[in-house]
Each structure stands twice: as structure tokens, then as C-alpha cells.
Structure 1
């Protein structure tokens, strides 16, 4: 399948992959929420439609941001894991969270407190911890195979 990009701009090219309404939320759910299955992701608060979720998972897999495997205990169910390329989005996700906390909270007072979610430390330490925690999840998951 040919990859179509709007331009040669790095920002536009990245947005062609993860700039839709759902892809970063899927990555967030995997990276920060520890979700692995289609069902777990589909139950997120944002209520992504299953056809869109399926489409986005295929796109993220095509660009090697996630990998799809079968559960050892249930060969019918797929699990989705971020690849290193997907894990490398942790700084971007963190920056969006920090920016939103600073600039969007006044418009959405229902937003959760980022300090309750562990975002009150040094940014680099937070990013390192997020990546380390996710790699542990992957390691534990893959040890079941």
C-alpha cells in the first residue's frame, strides 16, 4: 500500500499519521492506560466507534507505531503493543498533557489533575518513567508468549 503524504513538511507528514482525532488517544491508552485489547480501547471515555478504532489501529500498525499479536490464552483475541517508535511519542504526549493543563483547564474544569497522574515532577523524569513503565508492561505481556 502506497503511503500518501500531503507535503514534504515533517509536521504535516507526522500529522498525516497521528494527527486525526483518535490516533493519539489510542496511543495514550496504550502508553498511559496499559490497555492492550480492542475492547479495552473501545471502552475509553471518548467512545471511539469500532469501525474508526479498527481503521486507526491498522494505520498505526502500518506505520510501525504498534504491533498486533494474538493472546496466548485466547487465540481469537488480538493485543496491541506500542513499538519503540510508538513509545518514542511519550515526550509528545507529555507535552500535550502539560500544555493542556496550563491552557485548557479554564475551559474544561472537569479535566483530571495532572499531579494526581504523576505529572508533577521534572518533565524528563516523567517521560523516562512513562517509557520505563510501558516497557515493563510489554515485557510482562511478552513473557506470557
Structure 2
């Protein structure tokens, strides 16, 4: 009965650990995508700025570029906020994985303690049986 309970607990712990690792992987992928988006926006902004200097002839061109640059900056701020949110989520997933490993370690310790306790009880019963056998045979010590 205890063994079956221990096996079920182990399976649950393994499943939880696997889920937490999957969450961490997903969070890492989101962080990578957000970082790539920020880099893409920065590259787009640099290209637009280079194009401005190459072809800007009138003040109207400059105003148009200025509006475009402001829109790019707003998108960059939004992308940076998304990156920060993704990093926060990844950190939460890391904490969850850490707690899962702690739970697994505690479970293993408890299992080892339980096994040790059962072994001590078995040895105690064997010694008691041996003592009873010695007493029943009338054997005395030196």
C-alpha cells in the first residue's frame, strides 16, 4: 500500500517537474522572440534614419520621417515592455522549476527515511526473534 502511494507520488512529482520545465522552455522562447522583435525594430529605425539623410530634401520630408521615427520609438517601447514581461514570466518559470527540484529532493529524502525506518523495524524484529530463540534454547552468554 505504501509502495503504491510512493509510486503515485513519484509519478505526480515527475509530471509536475516536466510541466514546469515545459513552461520554462516556453517562457525562454517568448523572451527570444521579444528580443528579436526589439532588434528588428532598432534595425528598421537605423535604416529609416540612414534613408532620411540620403534623400531628405525638404522640411516636409523631415516631418514625415519624424512621425515615422516616433511611431518606431513607440513600437520599440512596446516591444521592450513585452520583453520585460517575458523575462518576468521566464523568471517565474525558473522559480517553479527550482521548487519542483526541491520537492523531488525532499520526496527522495522522505522515501529514503521511510526505507531506513522499515529496515530498522525489520532488523529489530529479527533481533527480537533471535533473542527469543536463544532464550527458548536456554543458551546463556559467557
- TM-score normalised according to structure 2 size: 0.25
Q: Greater relative contact order (Cα 8 A, min sep 6): structure 1 or 2?
A: 2
Structure number, greater radius of gyration: 2
Structure holding more strand per residue: 1
Greater fraction helix: 2
Please report the TM-score for the alignment, with normalisation by the length of structure 1. 0.24
